[in-house]
Amino acid sequence: MSFAVSVGGRSVECADDQSLLDACLRAAVWMPNSCNQGTCGTCKLRVLSGEVDHGASPLDTLTDDERRAGLALACQARPVSDVELSSPGSTGRATHALQDLVATVLEVSDIARDTRRVLLGLPEPLAFEAGQYVELVVPGSGARRQYSLANTADENKVLELHVRRVPGGLATDGWLFDGLAAGDRVAASGPLGDFHLPPEADDDGGPMALVGGGTGLAPLVGIARTALRRHPDRVVLLYHGVRGAADLYDLDRFAELPELHPNFRFVPVLSHEPDPAYRSGFPTDAFVEDVASGRGWSGWLCGPPAMVEAGVTAFKRRRMSPRRIHREKFTPTE
């Protein structure tokens, strides 16, 4: 059975076992979205009429009072009748339609301690924005895991993922680090997420600070390269925070960028295993040391929640406008 979901003047069909967010994104109706696990609250919206089943919406993200007030998490809620929704900013915003994909593994390579690069070939190009992510279906379980794309939007037939091993992880120890090989077929869906640059017409070419923790570097690679392609002389500082030098990767890639873009700077920062070749401490502190004023800058943060929150504090400390601070938290799956 399916129901009509109305939002921003558009109406889409949503099956009774399908989330509101999934139905809208597949119809290219934009809704705010980030983790798609019910933990971040980005997709919270108001149900103006009709009823929904809140499913697995966590109480710490969607409280009982909010449910009684008609709020819902679009990534978790399913319709039980025709519904009308109010979603902030949904009217008129362009998006790429969510698609189901079957990709072929082209390469699996170890690039750092407990970190792998996975290249997935697609039969047809995937439309996305640099910084978005895809979900992979873990074989034999039906579980889904999210991995950011390290690509720019024109690199749309070979997707690059950076994967860090999670001890005991269903997707990593049970699959991506144990048996995944070139030639394997992988079920996926994408693109997802709002962590990407504004449209080129709205990009003022201002200075940017990007901070990635661990494989939180992945989406920042595509974002930084896209930003520099638009404005080759813009100031871009890219910080990579890891425990030790063994966790760093793609240093050659970042060493080449300043040859074309003299105002680009890549800054590795080691938090637990000092090395005289690199800065020690935390990448958010390194930004505070390097930049006297963040006025006019945009900030981009991706990685563990604690690092992202520290980055928000650091950016505000340097007077960066809150509306220019963008974040993507890597939240663990239960």
Q: Is the pLDDT of residue 283 over 60?
A: yes
Whether 213 and 304 share a structural domain: yes
> Torsion over CA of 146, 150, 154 and 157, rounded to 10 degrees?
-60
Q: Given pLDDT bands bounded at 50, 70 and 90, which one contains residue 306?
A: very high
> Domain containing 36: what range?
2-86
- Asked which of 35, 56, 86 is the last residue of a domain, the reply is 86
**Mean predicted confidence (pLDDT) in 200-211:** 95
**What's the pLDDT tens digit per position in 126-176?**
999 999 999 999 999 989 999 999 999 999 999 999 999 999 999 999 999
Is 223 a domain residue?
A: yes
Is 218 a domain residue?
A: yes
Q: Given pLDDT bands bounded at 50, 70 and 90, which one contains residue 9?
A: confident
Q: Is 183 left (phi over 0), alpha (psi -120 to 50) or beta?
A: left
Instruction: Note the pLDDT of residue 157.
Output: 97
Instruction: Note the pLDDT of residue 150.
Output: 98
Whether 156 and 217 share a structural domain: no
Instruction: Determine which of 259-263, 286-290, 326-330 has the lowest per-residue pLDDT on average.
Output: 326-330
Is 334 a domain residue?
A: no
33-42, 82-91, 210-219: which is most confident: 210-219
Instruction: Note the pLDDT of residue 30.
Output: 87
0.85 cut: is pTM over it?
Answer: yes
Whether 204 and 325 share a structural domain: yes
Whether 174 and 277 share a structural domain: no
Instruction: Note the pLDDT of residue 89.
Output: 56
CB 325 within 8 A of CB 312: yes
Is 179 a domain residue?
A: yes
Whether 30 and 14 share a structural domain: yes
Instruction: Note the pLDDT of residue 332.
Output: 63
Whether 137 and 71 share a structural domain: no
- Asked which of 57, 86, 115 is the last residue of a domain, the reply is 86
d(CA 134, CA 87) in angstroms, rounded, equals 23
Q: Is the pLDDT of residue 125 over 60?
A: yes
Residue 207 sits in a domain whose CATH number is 3.40.50.80
Whether 293 and 243 share a structural domain: yes
Instruction: Note the pLDDT of residue 124.
Output: 96
d(CA 188, CA 149) in angstroms, rounded, equals 13
Is 239 a domain residue?
A: yes
- DSSP per-residue codes, 128-191: --TT-EEEEEPTTT--EEEEEB---TT--SEEEEEEE--TT-TTIIIIITTT--TT-EEEEEEE
Whether 15 and 107 share a structural domain: no
- Total domains in the chain come to 3
Is 93 a domain residue?
A: no
Is 94 a domain residue?
A: no
Residue 6 sits in a domain whose CATH number is 3.10.20.30
- Asked which of 135, 163, 192 is the last residue of a domain, the reply is 192
Residue 109 sits in a domain whose CATH number is 2.40.30.10
Whether 322 and 207 share a structural domain: yes
Amino acid at residue number 93? R
Q: Given pLDDT bands bounded at 50, 70 and 90, which one contains residue 261?
A: very high
**Mean predicted confidence (pLDDT) in 117-132:** 97
Whether 173 and 251 share a structural domain: no
Whether 103 and 80 share a structural domain: no
Task: State the chain's maximal CA–CA distance in angstroms.
Answer: 63
Q: Summarize the chain as % helix, strand, coil (round to 5).
A: 20, 35, 45
Whether 81 and 44 share a structural domain: yes
- Supply the mean pLDDT for the chain: 94
**What's the pLDDT tens digit per position in 39-92?**
889 999 999 999 999 999 999 999 999 999 999 999 999 999 999 998 665 545
Is 163 a domain residue?
A: yes
